[in-house]
Structure 1
């Protein structure tokens, strides 16, 4: 049994690590960009440009989250939980909630954009087809939900980051190191 523990990996695989940090960077950018354009005058080129990049990065986030889930379910490295009991259950629940919120946010983003009945594209490379049409009144419903879920993601992801730091600096365990690339592989 001890030899199994010594031979087991101590970090997630490279792809899992990169997808994790890319997800985090996109979530931060998407949230920040929406907060910034709220401060800009409506109809200005800067505001419209920021919204366009936000939409394209949201589409990119959708691809990454779906890829991340498929990788996790199929080939991603699974590590044993660092904590057992209530802390372990809380960590698993928080991870599941983050995935569900991200998926909800992606769906709401598309629904909101389709409810606006305006065409949109992915970094100017191709147009995103309209798969559903909605009454214009749904625009405010989807937009409000999209904003609320964004705040929930930011709060939960912030707690996730704080707990990683508590594990690293307070508990002095390997929780954070498991999601960092090895220094040799950078």
Structure 2
């Protein structure tokens, strides 16, 4: 009895971490999900490694970080817009607390990603520098911030970036736990070209 309770609690906790609310995802949502994941990981790696490179390479990495950041912003807008369209990812009937909690995890990640994208723009512009999108310069639309304010924006950008990586890592680990240990369809629902286990 105790073992079953622990197993059920473990399953519920990892489903929440995996963001599994038992929704069925369409192919476009799946594509946007994986593009987001690749861009987020790439952005984080660029930010963590450009300080280890010589100046010319560092400049290219910073420009790439800005360019992919703008691309990520566009992907996030597409994801949010797609979710808001009627008929996409409708929740199943009789959703329980685990599904609500899992959906909350998704919303928290969305809020963090949008906040991080906005802070990226503000960080660059508050230092009186243009954003760059693959060579296209986007000048600041507002006056530069004071140095302390600019520094605070940078700290917030770093903190949220690390928070996203920790949550996204937990999200991925939970999905893998479900797939390899619990052997359910949590991960399959977000893999392209896969069918749910109960559909096979």
TM bucket by the smaller chain? 0.7 to 0.9
Q: Which residue of 2 aligns with 1:5?
A: none
Which structure 1 residue ranges, 4+ long, deviate > 3 Å from structure 2? 83-86
Unaligned 5+ runs, structure 2: 1-22, 196-200
Q: CA RMSD in A?
A: 2.2
Asked whether the 8 Å contact 2:30–2:191 carries over to 1, the reply is: yes
Determine which of 153, 156, 162 is the counterpart of 2:164. Answer: 153
1:137-164 per-residue CA deviation (whole Å, 9 max, x = no partner) reads 1221111000000000000111111111
1:14-67 per-residue CA deviation (whole Å, 9 max, x = no partner) reads 1111110000000000000000012235xx100111000000000000000011
Asked whether the 8 Å contact 2:25–2:189 carries over to 1, the reply is: yes
Distance 1:92 1:12 in 2: 13
Q: Which residue of 1 aligns with 2:126?
A: 115
Q: Which residue of 1 aligns with 2:142?
A: 132
Asked whether the 8 Å contact 2:126–2:140 carries over to 1, the reply is: no
Determine which of 34, 43, 47 is the counterpart of 2:47. Answer: 34
Distance 1:128 1:76 in 2: 36
Instruction: Calculate the TM-score normalised by the size of structure 1.
Output: 0.84
Determine which of 68, 75, 96 is the counterpart of 1:64. Answer: 75
1:94 and 2:105 aligned? yes
Asked whether the 8 Å contact 2:125–2:140 carries over to 1, the reply is: yes
Asked whether the 8 Å contact 1:168–1:176 carries over to 2, the reply is: yes
Unaligned 5+ runs, structure 1: 1-9
Distance 1:120 1:135 in 2: 16
- The 3-state SS of whatever aligns with 2:52 is coil
Higher relative contact order (CA 8 A, sep 6+): 2
The verdict on how the C-alpha distance between 1:89 and 1:14 changes in structure 2, with shifts beyond 3 A counting, is: same
Asked whether the 8 Å contact 2:122–2:153 carries over to 1, the reply is: yes
